[in-house]
Chain A
Amino acid sequence: MIELQNVSKSFPGARALTDVSVEFTPGRVHALVGENGAGKSTLIKIASGVLQPDSGEIRVDGRPVRLTPRDARELHIRVLHQERQVALTRSVADNVVLGEAPRNRLGLSGQWLVEREARRRLQRVGVELDVRAPVATLSVAQRQLLELARAVTFDARCLIMDEPTASLHPDEIGQLFEVVRRVREHGVSVVYISHHLSEVIALADDYTVLRDGRRVGGGLVEDTTTDGLVAQMFGSEVSLRREDIHGGGTEPGDVAARLRGVHFGRRLKGVDLDLRFGETVVINGPVGSGAAELGRILSGAARPTAGSVELMGKPGSTRRRAAMRGVALIPADRKREGLLLDRPIHENSELAGDAAHPLTWYSAVRAADRCRRGGRRLGLKASDVRLAVRGLSGGNQQKVLIDRWLRVDARVLVLDEPTVGIDIPSKAEIYRQLRALTRAGAAVVVLSTEYQEIRCVADRVIVMRDGVVAGEIPGVDATEQALFALGARS
């Protein structure tokens, strides 16, 4: 059992933690939540000996200790970083039994023994990996599973996981959770930091909420909800509840997009869809269900292999023509498909406009001025719009992308997982913006797998399964259970 009692820590110019107490109990997953700058990193740095508290006490199994990184290691407190500590050139087996040379009863040792031992240890936590594969060939997710397996075999007492799911796919996250649960069964206390409150609810047993360096809440996870966590993290300023964001629908207008019998290879098998102005339609479905493909077809970025697409009454065509007609596309992978990371913010926010009118004069000074005005409307926080967009937070980058299409008065917006990796206040702002656009008569399509997001923005939800529309429900009725039932029915 590791306890931090009345811990405070100041940095020059910033008070990072004030009088915080937490306990990490063996065999339980403890979630630390709080917005950026709340003090989570500082707390885990103190718990792992990297930083010394200004005041307060750390107790391990009731004994007060003074922790250095070395002590922490000896006490088996491990911090699991995203892509570190594994020797990339070696095989999985070598990494699992790192530094030991297992011998059999005859005192022989050899690579096959190393591999057998590694296989045994991986099985203990339910990790399936090829023990002979070099670590360099593993995905980020697989490396994390490897790290977890290592932690258990080295008898970790406390395992600290900092945003482990930031770059994982949904199915990989499920796998990770399974392994974390096994690790917990081995009596390890797991500290879990995540911005994804639904993950916290799904995985954690206890939680602590930090705000401005103070502990503002905590307890058993079974006694709270994501809405409850949001309320504790931000007070009353930010809410992700449908009642506070959705603001009711309007009567949908003309048809913005009409899909009939759309096929796309084997990914889509005959989809009919009508999208009207003045409504937000959420398309929900896991990877492989065809939801992502539907988004690309709606925005002209992909052509159906069969079937017809009509955009505003005209046959759909290329991405460029769709963009010229005001069909916005905000891809899920902001960095690879959305932004020009090293170009200034103002250029990123004007890209759609520049693309539409290449044969006109351009002034960087005026473009920057326009961006300042547009950015204020969206609550964009940037010290200077002439800086590279790379330096912005995910939430601000997404606002730049939305601004890009508002500049050209896009009337149809297709957003693929619009708030992945975005802080909660920005999420709320983006949802509110989408609702405002919808009420102003835009047709909005959101591809989403996040229930909270769906609840906040949807007028109706279309659930995809295996390339066909599995069903449709009105946004008000879109509970997690209802969506799950629709998606799973076969």
Chain B
Amino acid sequence: MILHNYDLYEDCFRVRLLASCTEQSLELVNVNAFPGAEEKSAPYLKLNPLGRLPILEDGELCLRNLSAILIYVAEQDAQKRFIPKDSAERARMMDWLGFACQDLSVATEARAVALLDAPGDVAVLRAKARQLFRILDDHLTRQSLRGEIYVAGKSPSLADIALFPAFALCRDFNLDHDEFPAARLWARQIRTLPGFITMPGIPDYH
């Protein structure tokens, strides 16, 4: 699998994190996204007319949608360890995967405005992201009451992997973790997953 990657993009990190936690290797093609905007160059627009990263290639396959990429990589894992077998649990996982990849794109955007000169109003985006992390924190509070520490059940799933970067990186656009104690505890669990890796902005405590 080839990942067209930019190290500072959290969406690219989500894919790298998943690959690492599932013991799969990715061939990284580093794209000069900032300041070069290489993902909007002619050859890249051929791969993804939307002019965005990440892009995942595997043989004939070329994927540009974040959830599609994550699901594909999770399924390539022989153990499929992050895809729940139970259908209800799998549906809950997909529900939160949608939250991570669609709803929380405001957090990705806020960070891009704060760090990478993207256009947008960071205060508005930050307020939206804060509402979403509240929802996540409320949910994780309920989960732990039921003895389930992950978003979709007792075991970590693809949704947790997809959610973690957004939460871990929100300080980049000045949203602190203060108000989200349940999410803080959950993030600490994600850090202990075998294969866990970091990226700039997510400190390695060792």
- Asked if A and B bind, the verdict is no
Q: Chain B: residues with CB nearer than 8 A to chain A?
A: none
Q: Chain A: residues with CB nearer than 8 A to chain B?
A: none
